[in-house]
């Protein structure tokens, strides 16, 4: 007859596995969310199919709203990544914490640049571009200049988003390798 007291004790939680799981899940969710916004949700606002119900200035307003929410999502994921990286580094869980730290810092800098520099400028240019919609006074020349400047900043933000996607993919691969290596060690 098995000892019933031993069956009642909770199993010991392996903090290393928990941190690896949280890091890998966060990396997967962050990458997946970014891919979804970049290739599916974002372009949908500017689809010809939606133009009858979401005309030009309003599609930009809706996209800006979504980007604001997405930025909050990215900040949450970056925070989780930083916490798991810090705990993993303190407990010597990761083989390449410098690589992970550099990738995370790169992502945070790119997101911060977009959030603090590009987005406010793009918002102002969007309003000038569609001045009549927003009840602003702007000449056609000012609107044309704003439209060109907006286009350049939008292209720059898309390039930055591509770099974020690449960094997120690298982050995911690093966490995947860590988790799969740990899984192989426990089964051997």
Phi, psi dihedral angles at 53 (to 5 degrees): -105, -15
Choice between 3 and 44, residue whose per-residue pLDDT is larger: 44
Number of Cα atoms under 13 Å in the Cβ half of residue 172: 18
pLDDT tens for each residue of 99-132: 889 999 999 999 999 999 999 999 999 999 999 9
Question: What pLDDT digit, counting tens, does each position of 151-174 carry?
Answer: 999 999 999 999 999 999 999 998
Q: Higher confidence at residue 5 or residue 40?
A: 40
């Amino acid at each position: 007859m098995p000892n019933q007291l031993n069956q009642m004790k909770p199993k010991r939680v392996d903090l290393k596995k928990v941190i690896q799981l949280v890091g890998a899940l966060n990396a997967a969710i962050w990458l997946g969310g970014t891919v979804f916004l970049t290739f599916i949700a974002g372009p949908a606002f500017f689809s010809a199919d939606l133009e009858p119900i979401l005309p030009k200035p309003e599609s930009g307003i809706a996209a800006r709203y979504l980007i604001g929410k997405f930025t909050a999502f990215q900040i949450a994921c970056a925070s989780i990544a930083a916490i798991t990286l810090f705990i993993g580094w303190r407990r010597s869980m990761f083989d390449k914490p410098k690589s992970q730290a550099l990738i995370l810092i790169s992502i945070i800098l790119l997101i911060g640049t977009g959030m603090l520099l590009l987005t406010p400028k793009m918002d102002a240019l969007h309003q000038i571009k569609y001045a009549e919609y927003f009840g602003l006074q702007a000449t056609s020349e000012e609107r044309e200049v704003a439209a060109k400047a907006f286009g350049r900043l939008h292209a720059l933000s898309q390039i930055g988003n591509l770099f974020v996607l690449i960094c997120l993919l690298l982050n995911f691969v690093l966490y995947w390798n860590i988790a799969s290596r740990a899984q192989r060690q426990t089964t051997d």
